[in-house]
Amino acid sequence: MKVKLIKWTGRIVNTLLIGMLLIVATLVLTSVMTDGKPSIFGQELKVVYSGSMEPAIKTGAVIGVKTQFDARNLKVGDTIMFQQEEGVFVTHRIIDVINNDNQLMFRTKGDHNEYADPNAVLPANIYGVHGGINIPYLGYAMDFANSKFGLVILLLIPGVWLLFSSAKSIYIAVREEQKTKNESSSSENVS
């Protein structure tokens, strides 16, 4: 009974480690193939670093952003990611659509914020529209996996474990084979 439990535990750990290797490999490949902009189902995956949209979008969540959109179709209630200043992107909800002398603008506010954003957002500053993908806390793991240390850890530990596990399985199989040979040769000697 104890041996079966150990074998099943080993299989589960191996399966989890193989899964982890596949996830990390997928993240690395999609990151390399898309110039650091991993995407799935036509949506770029972005990490949310603030709590301004909680509880709908948690700090550290990974969200999907559709970068192909028509600003004229945006409406109150849509969540957009826009560039607030150079290198600073914000994800907030549209609370008002302003059409001032044929100049389209959007008033935005974070769900958790008390006040609306001070400046209206121009369509040219909108990076994308939230496409529905929202995975809480996965951003922390993605950031860790994208760091050099995280990449080494996430590839090295499962790799070493799988090598050790394979070597152990081979050793056990050879030992059992040797035991079977010894038993069959001793039974031939008795006859």
Above 80 in pLDDT, residue 105? yes
Shortest CA distance to 94 belongs to which of 66, 70, 120?
A: 120
Average pLDDT, the chain: 84
Domain ranges of the chain: 2-164
47 compared with 10, residue with greater pLDDT: 47
β-bridge mates for residue 66, sequence order: 129
Which pLDDT belongs to residue 187? Answer: 65
Catalytic residue list contains 39 = no
Per residue in 132-175, pLDDT tens?
A: 899 898 888 777 777 778 777 777 777 787 788 777 877 887 78
63 compared with 11, residue with greater pLDDT: 63
Catalytic residue among 50, 166, 169, 184: 50
**How is the beta sheet containing 39-40 ordered, strand by strand?**
39-40, 43-47, 62-66, 126-135, 79-85, 88-100, 103-109
Q: Give the C-alpha separation, 147 to 153, whole Å.
A: 10
CATH architecture of residue range(s) 2-164: Ribbon (2.10)
Q: Give the C-alpha separation, 74 to 93, whole Å.
A: 11
